[in-house]
Structure 1
Amino acid sequence: MAFAELLDQVGSQGRFQVLQTVALVAPIMWVTMHNMLDNFSGAVPSHRCWVPLLDNSTAQASVPGTLSPEALLTISIPPGPNQEPHRCRRFRHPQWQLLDPNAMSTNWSKAATEPCMDGWVYDRSTFTSTIVTQWDLVCDSQGLKPMAQSIYMAGILVGAAMCGYTSDRWLAESARWLLITGRLARGLRELQRVADINRKRAAGEALTTEVLLSAMQEELGVGQAPASVGDLLRTPRLRHRTYPSVLCWFAIGFTFYGLALDLQALGSNIFLLQVLIGVVDIPAKTGTLLLLDRLGRRPTQSASLVLAGLCILANTVVPREMEALRSALAVLGLGGVGAAFTCVTIYSGELFPTVLRMTAVGLGQMAARGGAILGPLTRMLAVYSPLIPLLVYGAVPVLTGLASLLLPETRSLPLPDTIQDLQRPAVKKAAQGTQGHPVLKSTWF
């Protein structure tokens, strides 16, 4: 009898698993909301320099005659890159000659302008107050916003590392892991607790140390030689799986948080974009689960990353005036990233043996957090060209998707328990499963 049969006896899909899932989902939902909150609390409204003729009633009273606000804006603020009022510069002196209808052909030098020496005026029609308007995180200080987002992501990474041990106090330990590492008494108690919660107390009471030793004889023998993170890099077969897998995790974190934390760059209506991203994410991840069983893990992983990257790259050639198309491509790109995340979560667990599975997945999640830290910082390259961040966000998933083709296919193959299992031919491993199409069962317990 193997561990999978023990798990079936105490309940592999019952109340205990449901409670564990709820305990994990509840805090994750709160973290996700905090991650996306900066799109609204840190929104950048339209803004221009503060100038006396527009924003000081005393200065306006000194102007002879009556001029409209549009005329005062023309003589006070130079046009920006899109022929809109410049957001970061103002005329050093009022340019009265621009009131001439033929003045559009007049050239003015940079010497006639200056930075916003007296602050900014913000459009508060949509957002009455944000951290940007409160601390003037615009123009020369606009890089502070992505830097703050990056620091926030770094805090999540550090917090996950520091609080990981704390979570063991209220989340159940993996019974299989406890047994493999030789802690039979604790493993037995965990299995009996699972049986009790799943209302299979009789099956739990029938479990004894002798039964566990008989069922886990091979795994306990392997458990005497503990594996470490170094094995992921020293062993050739593991190394060839580790590098592409970690790269996939990194690309997902880098691309998603680089784009999702700056929805204003993808469209003007960030409320609609946020809703669309959530709506698309559900069928994208659900469809991925279906494709994993039909197309396989490797092609699904590669296709989702490449599709996401191509959608993002397409936005570099779409004119900004075609806002609906740009928003649609952005939503599809983020949907592809969500699909890639679903795939890599399942795929990574199947690529590595039981003795290193959580270590490898943890390494991948750290890589994703590292990507989430670098993602917002990449937006600072927009000072050289607004297309550079999109080019980087699109190129990384495309190249990573191609690199993921180096990974072996794991569909319908039994999960490896030991490093030695990876040395065996895949055909032989498949033959050890059920005939025809083997069914995998992956569980935390």
Structure 2
Amino acid sequence: MQTAIAPSLDIQQIRQDFPILDQQINNRPLVYLDNAATTQKPRAVIDALTNYYEGYNANIHRGIHHLAEQATAAFEASRRAMQSFLNAEHWQEIIFTYGTTDGINLVAQAYGRRFLNAGDEIIISGMEHHSNIVPWQMLCEERGCVLKVIPVDEQGDLMLDEYDNLLSEKTKLVSVVHASNSLGTVNPVKTIIDKAHAVGAVVLIDGAQSSSHLTVDVQDLDADFFVCSAHKFYGPTGMGVLYGKTALLEAMSPYRGGGEMIREVTFEKTTYNDIPYKFEAGTPNIADVVAVKAAIEYIGQLSKEAISAHELDLLHYATEQLSEIDGLRIIGQAREKIGVVSFVMDGIHHQDMGVILDQQGIAVRTGHHCTMPLMHRFGIAGTTRASFAVYNTKDEIDRLAQGIRRVQKMML
């Protein structure tokens, strides 16, 4: 596992920025360890949402009155913020979606249906979220493409030698997760991208988890597409981003029709708007797009590097503490991980574990985490998952370890 860097953040001060953390669950202080599902929101993000609705709620782009122009400026300022957050070359390469799932489906429909044909091969990995499996299966059924899978080893790393064997001139698209939501594995996506490009394939990176924990530079990665969700990095739900290289986006046709994505409409023919707008049909999720800028600025104030160092320190500590518990087995011991610890307990179902931990005020995630094929690979039905964010502490990990031991005493 990678080496931790000593954290330099005032975590207790940071916790005060998150109002939801100051509460009790079942008469115990909340320990929120379900950050891979969604992160909590700092006051700055909450205020940005409130300020929009109280101060300048209006539809964007087409209005000429003051409120519409103010809302449009705030909306487009978030696009520029996302451009910087991902280091995209052009602001037009940032398309607002409703989340990572929506972004993957957009590419599957707008790129896949146009450019992939019968016999073409799509490669994904064995640790993908269902959102990065099902859209490609649907495309394969429709277009006659072939889906291939990079296997996962016992440690939870991708078997890159097998990836090399899968690649061929038939490979037209590779779509892999940057960091696993179930195992925490950080995949070597730059290497994966380079190898795919060598055979002429286009690559999509699922950054739902990495966008919160890792510094992402889409130009350095040379990613063709990158998708993420704001609620994973302290922003609002229902809002995400698709980054795509300009040439690819311009070659793609929109798959949703309506307002905003048009240039001219007659009953005989419609011509489409320029990117990014041709992919943003209808009234968008304005408030949440506006608020994502506050989330990006909040991360910037703390620094992504400091956040990552703190989370890595927590990961190491949690791995050590949980490994000392008899009968507990951590699923996923990859060489490089984000702050996710997924485990099973001898004789205790993961759902029972989650229910009893909740009674102690500890919020974790249980189940297959929308990665059923990955669970099958490890021969389990699901896990208990603890996942960390900037506001978590070692004291909370101690409470988790104590809570697990209490579950053991109750159940065994």
- Rg comparison, structure with higher value: 1
The structure with the largest helix share of the pair is 1
TM-score category by the smaller chain?
A: under 0.3
TM-score, length-normalised on structure 1? 0.24
TM-score, length-normalised on structure 2? 0.26
The structure with the largest strand share of the pair is 2
